[in-house]
Chain A
Amino acid sequence: MSRWRRSVDELAARRRQHECERAQDALSRVTSCFQQLVASLGSSADGSFLRDELDETRTVAHRICSGNAWLSCRLLRLLSDSDSAPSGVQDRQVLERLWVLFLSALEHFLYDLRKACDLIGQFPLAERSNRRLLVNTGCVDGVVGVAARVASVQLPWLTSEVEPSPDLTNHITGLETMMSEMQQRVPVAFWSVEATQPAWAEARGEPDDLVESLEDLMEVEIIAGSQKTACCGLGCIA
């Protein structure tokens, strides 16, 4: 193969890889927001707004996951890499890593989806009387901020066809099928993938963040001389 041809191929491969990584980031963001939403299901913060947001988030996630470009590019590359050697072992390792990360993200998302399905079934909001059963957890609001965050997610590629997003149950089954298919078609050894960051690395990061620990947040006013005994104080370690 001519060198020009090879460099073109390499560039294309690298671009695709970057796309995958950005898609992975987007998926993480969407699933974490999804978790915040699902955590409010069945609680006093539950409501139609929450449920709508839930669906929206799900749709975005669905679009990311089933982006044909993504999947096909993954599959293609991993399958074809077994034939063509020159991209090298390192590239293959990178691809395998991405593959494993994607599958883990899918699995995690599926877990939350199932919980959501069960909770929606357990706390239907069809009638007003149902609201009485909602658990008073202390959360009252929502999730506007979270919803905004979801909306800010950018898909790494343009989807030509906008598929209608499936309802919850179908979404779950679709993901399950996709996962099992992926695992069967591409043999990737999970154990050969290694983390790029060492342990405890995340503790050192993010200096720009004002980190507030839970103890700080739970600080209680100690009113001198009052009978109030409820005191959280710094004695208890969060």
Chain B
Amino acid sequence: MKAHFGPAQSGAYSLSRLTSKHKATSKRAEKVVLEMQDPATGVKLQPQRLVITTIPHAITGEDIVQICLFYSEARSFGSMLVALGYIYPIQDHKRLVVKPDASLYRFQTPYFWPTQQWPVEDTDYAIYLAKRNIRKKGILELHEQEQYNRLHKWMNHKWDFIVMQAKEQYRAAKERKKPDRVVFDCQERAYWVVHRPPVRTHTGMFPSLQKTFMIFTQQSIMRPRVKSSVSIGALVKYCATYKGHDPFLSKCLPSNPWLTDDVTYWALNMPNVEIPTKMRVERWTFSFGELLSDPRGRDDFRLFLKKEFSGENLAFWEGCEDLKWGTAATMKEKAEQIYKTFLARGAPRWINIDGKTMEITVKGLKHPHRYVLDAAQTHIYMLMKKVSKHVSSDSQLEQNARNRRPSLSPIIIRQQEQEQKAKMAASAPVDITQLCRFTTPVPHLAVYSGITDPPSANASPSLPFLAHTPACPSPISVALDSTSASERRAEASEGESEGNPEARASAGGNVSKSRVALSLRRLLKRGCTPSSMFASLSPKCNSAAGTSSRIQPITPDEPSQAPPRRIGNFFQIKVDIPPECRIYPIESEDEDEENRAISRERLGTKEIICPWESLTPQNGTG
């Protein structure tokens, strides 16, 4: 739940700054105006002679300028006073400037001062226009006519009141003596020239505060809105989903480090931990974003994608993230690198995005900036998201469809893993801590890093790996349908496995033909290079697999042959592999020989089952 500061909010902020600036200016202006009234030191007053009468208290423009200088204000201060409305011109009443000559001005009465706490009301303006209408028998200026019509439309519900009030005000004004009446009329007229100027009124000073206010209100209207029931519903859903995962709200196992000072919880949830905890895995099911943002989940997903020959998508996505968050200095090269690797025609890891997005991206790359790849990244993100959904749903379908090869979603498999591990732990409390016992402290090897595809990475081939690894060849080599028989066979032939991290004993287990999930990464960590792995995938090798003699990883260090491990299906997907794929096709091997034969022949379209290394239970006893 992000908070968005749209244009309206920032507009409000600037509006408040503007109003406070105006406030300060107004206060200063008022102070000076009051000081100008001093009969001794103030401005000189003179009468204005009209035909009908003489009205006192007029001031000339020259005097205004002089007195402003006297108060050591700038020359423009006088203009400001007029622009704000503290002084109004009597003669050229539409031009709010101070002419340094004998043109006459007058002070505005405090009732009409532009004070912030008295907002300028449209109702008053409507009444004023109606009054003018009465007086001038309908002959108003153009902008006044427009305003009149507009207000008549928007204030129609109180129009009767407006007209009534206008009439009454008109009659009340007539009760005053003529000179006062003239003065009041001039004052009122000046007030509305300041606050409802016709568009081309020359104020000579600041942009109108009202214009800013108008923009602000227009933006508020355009702001998108959500019903509170909808937004509250989303909030409730979020809380319900994440409640159990918050260590402050619910109990966390083994213990809350903030309370007991025992850091096991953190150790278990490290980004690069071997076995993710059950809660963590559950979290991945919440949304694709969760899976991707958890480095452990991302690793698994990466491996899965690799199986599907679409690892470049995740790599591209990571590259984009790198570009977004990286230093500005390296941005240009990174962008070029990404382009060369993923986007250019014939690129080694070309990603499949639609023509329009590609066009936009390539165009943007001419002047690369941090977010130039955003469109493509979003596209790929959505693609991966769809894939991840498809996977779990597809595995369910598979399960329904073919009982012989039930496949479980990786999440459930993991949960079962944990459960069974826990069960296996004899007299230990059912506790996630127990999982640690099954973990081999294998040094973490980052097999994949960013853009570069690293077969050479740190898969240190020299590993103790071999004895246990069932499969180097494994994941891609053979998917055994693990029946109990094969399991037992595998178990029996399992070599010494020092602490296979996989602990999984699916023997019997909950599901008769449960696959055991094992991270391919772990697998590869054991030093099986992809190339060797793939090499072992050739049909030639496969035949050997059937006979339980192992496909040998090519690494020199590999001494023994381990019998084919029980391999669990992590993902089960149907994918069409074009024959010219650079990577050897994955063959799915079934315990059923015929299937295997058939699949071997159909290199083009294969049902790809990503085999995972099976887990040996032998070291499971804790």
Binding site for B on A (CB under 8 A): 24-25, 28-29, 31-33, 35-36, 38-45, 97, 100-101, 104-105, 107-108, 111, 114-115, 118-119, 122-123, 132-143, 145-146, 148-149, 190-197, 199-206, 211-214, 217-221, 229-232, 236-238
- The smallest C-beta distance from B149 to any residue of chain A, in angstroms, reads 7
Query: Which single member of B107, B157, B165, B179 contacts A193 (CB below 8 Å)?
Result: B157
Query: Which single member of B92, B112, B118, B138 contacts A204 (CB below 8 Å)?
Result: B138
- The smallest C-beta distance from A179 to any residue of chain B, in angstroms, reads 14
The 8 A-B residue pairs with the shortest CB-CB distance, nearest first, are A145-B175, A42-B110, A195-B159, A203-B138, A32-B168, A104-B158, A136-B57, A193-B157
In the complex, the chain B residue whose C-beta lies closest to that of A190 is B157
Q: Are A202 and B133 in contact (CB under 8 A)?
A: yes
Chain A hits for B38, CB < 8 A = 132
In the complex, the chain A residue whose C-beta lies closest to that of B58 is A138
Query: Which single member of B91, B133, B156 contacts A236 (CB below 8 Å)?
Result: B91
Q: Are B133 and A138 in contact (CB under 8 A)?
A: no
- The smallest C-beta distance from A115 to any residue of chain B, in angstroms, reads 6
Contact with A along B518-536 (1 / 0, CB 8 A): 0000000000000000000
Chain A hits for B149, CB < 8 A = 199
- The smallest C-beta distance from A206 to any residue of chain B, in angstroms, reads 7
CA distance A38 to B51 in the complex (A): 28
* CB of B33 within 8 Å of the partner chain: yes
Query: Which single member of A24, A119, A205, A237 contacts B141 (CB below 8 Å)?
Result: A237
CA distance A36 to B111 in the complex (A): 10
Q: Are A211 and B134 in contact (CB under 8 A)?
A: yes
Q: Are B57 and A32 in contact (CB under 8 A)?
A: no
Q: A36-B173, A141-B177, A220-B50 are in contact. Are A211 and B137 (CB under 8 A)?
A: yes
* CB of B387 within 8 Å of the partner chain: no
Query: Which single member of B148, B156, B184, B187 contacts A194 (CB below 8 Å)?
Result: B156
Q: A39-B187, A199-B148 are in contact. Are A139 and B109 (CB under 8 A)?
A: yes
Chain B hits for A143, CB < 8 A = 176
Query: Which single member of B90, B94, B166, B171 contacts A232 (CB below 8 Å)?
Result: B90
Q: Are B165 and A108 in contact (CB under 8 A)?
A: yes
CA distance A213 to B175 in the complex (A): 16
Chain A hits for B182, CB < 8 A = 214, 217-218
Q: A114-B118, A138-B55 are in contact. Are A230 and B183 (CB under 8 A)?
A: no
User: Among B10-18, B98-106, B254-262, which stretch is in contact with chain A?
Assistant: B98-106
Binding site for A on B (CB under 8 A): 33-34, 37-39, 45, 48-52, 55-58, 90-94, 101-104, 106-112, 115, 117-118, 121, 123-124, 130, 133-138, 141, 148-149, 152, 156-169, 171-173, 175-187, 189
CA distance A230 to B55 in the complex (A): 13
Q: A202-B133, A203-B138 are in contact. Are A105 and B161 (CB under 8 A)?
A: yes
- The smallest C-beta distance from B430 to any residue of chain A, in angstroms, reads 60
Q: A213-B135, A217-B185, A218-B182 are in contact. Are A197 and B160 (CB under 8 A)?
A: yes
- The smallest C-beta distance from B153 to any residue of chain A, in angstroms, reads 9
Q: Are B110 and A217 in contact (CB under 8 A)?
A: no
Chain B hits for A40, CB < 8 A = 109, 111
- The smallest C-beta distance from B162 to any residue of chain A, in angstroms, reads 8
Most buried by B among A35, A137, A191: A137
CA distance A145 to B184 in the complex (A): 15
Chain A hits for B110, CB < 8 A = 41-43, 119, 122-123, 135
Q: A146-B172, A202-B134 are in contact. Are A32 and B165 (CB under 8 A)?
A: yes
Q: Are B177 and A145 in contact (CB under 8 A)?
A: yes
In the complex, the chain A residue whose C-beta lies closest to that of B184 is A39
Q: Are A136 and B37 in contact (CB under 8 A)?
A: yes
- The smallest C-beta distance from B401 to any residue of chain A, in angstroms, reads 61
- The smallest C-beta distance from B158 to any residue of chain A, in angstroms, reads 4
In the complex, the chain A residue whose C-beta lies closest to that of B165 is A28
Q: A35-B172, A137-B109, A217-B181 are in contact. Are A230 and B48 (CB under 8 A)?
A: yes
In the complex, the chain A residue whose C-beta lies closest to that of B39 is A132
Query: Which single member of B112, B134, B175, B183 contacts A148 (CB below 8 Å)?
Result: B175
In the complex, the chain A residue whose C-beta lies closest to that of B103 is A230
CA distance A197 to B155 in the complex (A): 13
Q: Are B180 and A140 in contact (CB under 8 A)?
A: yes
- The smallest C-beta distance from A73 to any residue of chain B, in angstroms, reads 19
In the complex, the chain A residue whose C-beta lies closest to that of B130 is A202
In the complex, the chain B residue whose C-beta lies closest to that of A222 is B51
Please name 8 further chain A to chain B contacts, defined as beta carbons within 8 Å, in addition to the given A100-B158, A143-B176, sorted by A numbering.
Answer: A33-B172, A104-B158, A111-B124, A123-B110, A133-B34, A137-B187, A197-B160, A199-B149
Most buried by B among A29, A43, A138, A211: A138
In the complex, the chain A residue whose C-beta lies closest to that of B119 is A111
Q: A28-B164, A119-B111, A136-B45 are in contact. Are A200 and B138 (CB under 8 A)?
A: yes
Q: Are B137 and A203 in contact (CB under 8 A)?
A: yes
In the complex, the chain B residue whose C-beta lies closest to that of A197 is B163
CA distance A40 to B165 in the complex (A): 19
Q: Are B169 and A35 in contact (CB under 8 A)?
A: yes
Q: A115-B111, A137-B57, A139-B184 are in contact. Are A217 and B168 (CB under 8 A)?
A: no
Most buried by B among A123, A191, A200: A200
Most buried by A among B51, B115, B149: B51
In the complex, the chain B residue whose C-beta lies closest to that of A100 is B157
- The smallest C-beta distance from B124 to any residue of chain A, in angstroms, reads 8
Chain A hits for B157, CB < 8 A = 100, 190-195
In the complex, the chain A residue whose C-beta lies closest to that of B164 is A28
CA distance A136 to B106 in the complex (A): 8
Q: Are A145 and B111 in contact (CB under 8 A)?
A: no
Q: Are A217 and B175 in contact (CB under 8 A)?
A: no
Query: Which single member of A29, A44, A111, A135 contacts B121 (CB below 8 Å)?
Result: A111
Query: Which single member of A28, A39, A230 contacts B91 (CB below 8 Å)?
Result: A230
Query: Which single member of B45, B49, B106, B184 contacts A36 (CB below 8 Å)?
Result: B184
Q: Are B186 and A146 in contact (CB under 8 A)?
A: no
Chain A hits for B117, CB < 8 A = 114, 118
Q: Are A101 and B107 in contact (CB under 8 A)?
A: no
Q: A45-B180, A205-B134 are in contact. Are A101 and B161 (CB under 8 A)?
A: yes
Q: Are B166 and A220 in contact (CB under 8 A)?
A: no
Chain A hits for B158, CB < 8 A = 100-101, 104, 190, 193
In the complex, the chain B residue whose C-beta lies closest to that of A192 is B157
Q: A38-B111, A191-B157 are in contact. Are A138 and B102 (CB under 8 A)?
A: no
